[in-house]
Amino acid sequence: MARIPLRRDAMTREGATLDVPLVELVDRLLNRGVVLTGELTISVAGVDLIYLGLSVVVSSVDTIRRAGAEV
Amino acid sequence: MTLLLRAIVAPDDAAAGDDLGLATVSAVAVAALASPWDKARIAGEPELLDHHRIIQSVFERVPCLPARFGSVFPDEDALHSRLAEREVDFASQLARLGHRCELAITCAWRDKGVNSPVSIVPASSGRAYLERGLQRTRSDREREVRAEAIVARLLSELATEPSFVRHRTCPRPAVAVSMSALVTRDEIGGISSRLERLGAQLPDVTIVVQGPWAPYTFAVSE
């Protein structure tokens, strides 16, 4: 089972342009759907980088909302 | 050739991904559709959205189970081995879910104030600090209660089997309810209309309906 490195900087930067509906989609892409193993496929040293990446995106979205952007 | 799993389909539907550049790895009861993947490639938002685009293209043609992004296999043999272990379960899920779609229903708070971060201004005293925390806790509880009430309204409008709906309340500061509904395509129009009417009755949230998508939330792995 291989692992995909995550472009975390890109997620952070591009996440700033995401809105709430897109976060809903990203959540499904990263956290739902079938997997063929019981283990996380994107991880380093036991830390799920994809999950961390999503958290960054979500954080960015909420920052945008606080700044007054439309949902 | 390294492969990134995209979706699971019935063996007879495996050709659905041919013009999408997808490789097919077949077991007896199901087949996996996967893309060639450079194992040195670093994934980001474009790759995530491309994953969704490919799954949707397959889903528009044939019933499928969407794969969670990130399952990479060193070669077809490795993918086949994993697929063969799970094919009975996947075939069962395909029969149950394959013809249904997922609607993503998001209720976002209209009030920007609910997203206010915890103040970084130091409290003037310990009492002030604790009172601020108490106020925050009360506000969170009020929002949670309100979100549960909204869920009840949504479920009433959806009027579907409970097992066809999943939801979370207040998953993030901006969101009151994040709900997934498993529906048939001919139900979508009616549901959208009812939710639009409901949205007009709820002054504190904006309802956003997305889909139909492949059944991400309902396709599960043990």
B1 touches chain A (CB under 8 A): no
Shortest distance between the Cα of A47 and any Cα of chain B, in A, equals 14
Q: According to the model, what pLDDT value does residue A20 have?
A: 72
CA distances from B82 to A70, B30, B94 (A): 44, 12, 17
User: Three-state SS for A6?
Assistant: strand
**Beta pairing, strands B3-9 & B23-26:** unpaired
Q: Do B219 and B66 touch, CB atoms closer than 8 A?
A: yes
Shortest distance between the Cα of A45 and any Cα of chain B, in A, equals 17
Q: For residue A34, what is the nearest residue in chain B, using CA coordinates? A: B67
Confidence band, pLDDT 50/70/90 cuts, at residue B192: very high
Residue B84 has pLDDT above 60, yes or no: yes
CATH architecture of the domain covering B101-213: 2-Layer Sandwich (3.30)
Tell me what the pLDDT averaged over chain B comes to. Answer: 90
Q: Where are the domains of chain B?
A: 3-97, 101-213
Q: Do A21 and B204 touch, CB atoms closer than 8 A?
A: no
Per-residue pLDDT reduced to its tens digit, A4-62: 555 443 333 333 334 677 888 888 888 888 887 633 344 333 444 444 444 444 444 44
Select the residue of A25, A32, A36 nearest B71 (Cβ to Cβ). A36
Q: According to the model, what pLDDT value does residue B112 have?
A: 63
Q: According to the model, what pLDDT value does residue B116 have?
A: 54
Shortest distance between the Cα of A57 and any Cα of chain B, in A, equals 10
Q: For residue A39, what is the nearest residue in chain B, using CA coordinates? A: B71
Residue B132 has pLDDT above 90, yes or no: no
The angle subtended at Cα B8 by Cα B188 and Cα B72, nearest 5°, is: 125
CB contact under 8 A, A21 and B73: no
Task: Show residues of chain B in contact with A37, CB under 8 Å.
Answer: 71, 82
Task: Show residues of chain B in contact with A38, CB under 8 Å.
Answer: 221-222
Q: Considering chain B, what percentage of its residues have pLDDT values greater than 90?
A: 68
Residue A47's DSSP bridge partners are A44
**Higher per-residue pLDDT: B142 or A61:** B142
Give the Cα separation of B115 and A47 in Å (integer).
Answer: 28
Q: According to the model, what pLDDT value does residue B58 have?
A: 96
**Residue ranges in chain A assigned as alpha helix (H):** 8-15, 20-31, 49-66
Per-residue pLDDT reduced to its tens digit, B88-99: 999 999 999 988
User: Three-state SS for A45?
Assistant: coil
Q: Do B181 and B160 touch, CB atoms closer than 8 A?
A: yes
The angle subtended at Cα B65 by Cα B95 and Cα B74, nearest 5°, is: 130
Cα radius of gyration rounded to whole Å, chain B: 22
Per-residue pLDDT reduced to its tens digit, B118-131: 556 677 888 888 88
Task: Show residues of chain B in contact with A13, CB under 8 Å.
Answer: none
**Higher per-residue pLDDT: B134 or A8:** B134
CA quadruple B137, B142, B143, B145: dihedral positive or negative? positive
Give the Cα separation of A23 and B149 in Å (integer).
Answer: 23
Confidence band, pLDDT 50/70/90 cuts, at residue B140: confident
Residue B31 has pLDDT above 70, yes or no: yes
Give the Cα separation of A21 and A42 in Å (integer).
Answer: 24
Q: Do B2 and A2 touch, CB atoms closer than 8 A?
A: yes
Q: According to the model, what pLDDT value does residue B7 have?
A: 96
Q: According to the model, what pLDDT value does residue B126 have?
A: 85
CB contact under 8 A, B72 and A35: no
Residue B107 has pLDDT above 60, yes or no: yes
Q: According to the model, what pLDDT value does residue A38 have?
A: 39
Q: Do A23 and B174 touch, CB atoms closer than 8 A?
A: no
CB contact under 8 A, B221 and A27: no
Q: Considering chain B, what percentage of its residues have pLDDT values greater than 70?
A: 95
Tell me which DSSP letter residue B163 carries.
G
Q: According to the model, what pLDDT value does residue A71 have?
A: 34
**Higher per-residue pLDDT: B44 or B145:** B145
Whole-model pTM? 0.79
The angle subtended at Cα B184 by Cα B183 and Cα B186, nearest 5°, is: 125
Give the Cα separation of B76 and B68 in Å (integer).
Answer: 18
Q: According to the model, what pLDDT value does residue A62 have?
A: 45
Residue B8's DSSP bridge partners are B32, B65
**Higher per-residue pLDDT: A27 or B145:** B145
Task: Show residues of chain B in contact with A57, CB under 8 Å.
Answer: 45
